[in-house]
Structure 1
Amino acid sequence: MRQTTSANAVYGLLRLPQVQASTGLSRSEIYRRVRSGDFPAPVKLGERASAWVEREIVEWAARRIAERDAKAVA
């Protein structure tokens, strides 16, 4: 599912199984990190449906990689 903003940027929405596959994290770990503020929060799509903004998940992963690389250089 893709959404377009007023600036014509396209943002994909990922459902939980896609987020799990992308990050390697379990459902419970994803929600634990959301609660602690260490992972992007989902967007409510309806009463019983949520999804994550794909760009935010990619940025989260990029930060994790950058943190790893910074430790390796130090």
Structure 2
Amino acid sequence: MKRSEYEIVCNQLSHIKSTTESAIRALELNLKYLNTIESQLRTCIDNKALIATLTLPSLCPTDPTKQPSDLIKIKEVTQMTSLSRSTIYTKINQQDFPQSISLSCRSVAWVRKEVEDWIYLKMDER
């Protein structure tokens, strides 16, 4: 095997390894969300009286990526991504970054999973 062929194979293996590691991270996040849902379902079963007075969706969210506890503000987004505020908003305008969610007329937040997925995507592009 020539040196150049060896390097190509090594680069491909390195890419496969990083892709696999990203997939593992994504699966671990999914497992965490599934465990959260399972816990919330147990709470629903254990609190039948609450179920009668409250709506089921508010007790048992069906989409774990949209839970309020997973909303993050701009300060945490900049820390996670190492990007400045202005760069984040520029990327949003270029449709190269997750959209923020408007909480009020002067407050926005991002879904943590969407930002993490964007980071993993950028890591895979290397």
TM-score, length of structure 2 as denominator length: 0.48
Q: What pairs up with 1:5-24 in 2 under 5 angstroms? A: 6-7=61-62, 9=64, 11=67, 12-24=70-82
- 4+ residue runs of structure 1 moved beyond 4 angstroms? none
Residue 112 (structure 2) aligns with:
54
**Structure with the bigger percentage of helix:** 2
Higher relative contact order, chain-length normalized (CA < 8 Å, sep 6+): 1
Q: What pairs up with 1:1-74 in 2 under 5 angstroms? A: 6-7=61-62, 9=64, 11=67, 12-68=70-126
How many residue pairs are counted as aligned between the two chains?
65
Counterpart CA distance in 2 for 1:26 and 1:40 is 15
Q: Can you give the 5+ residue segments of structure 1 that lack an aligned partner in the other structure? A: 69-74
| Percent identical residues | 32
Provide the aligned C-alpha RMSD in A: 1.8
C-alpha distance after superposition, 1:11-43 (max 9, x if no partner): 401100000000000000000000000000100
TM-score, length of structure 1 as denominator length: 0.80
Q: Cα gap change, 1:36/1:9 in structure 2, threshold over 3 Å: closer, same or farther?
A: same
Q: Which has the larger radius of gyration?
A: 2
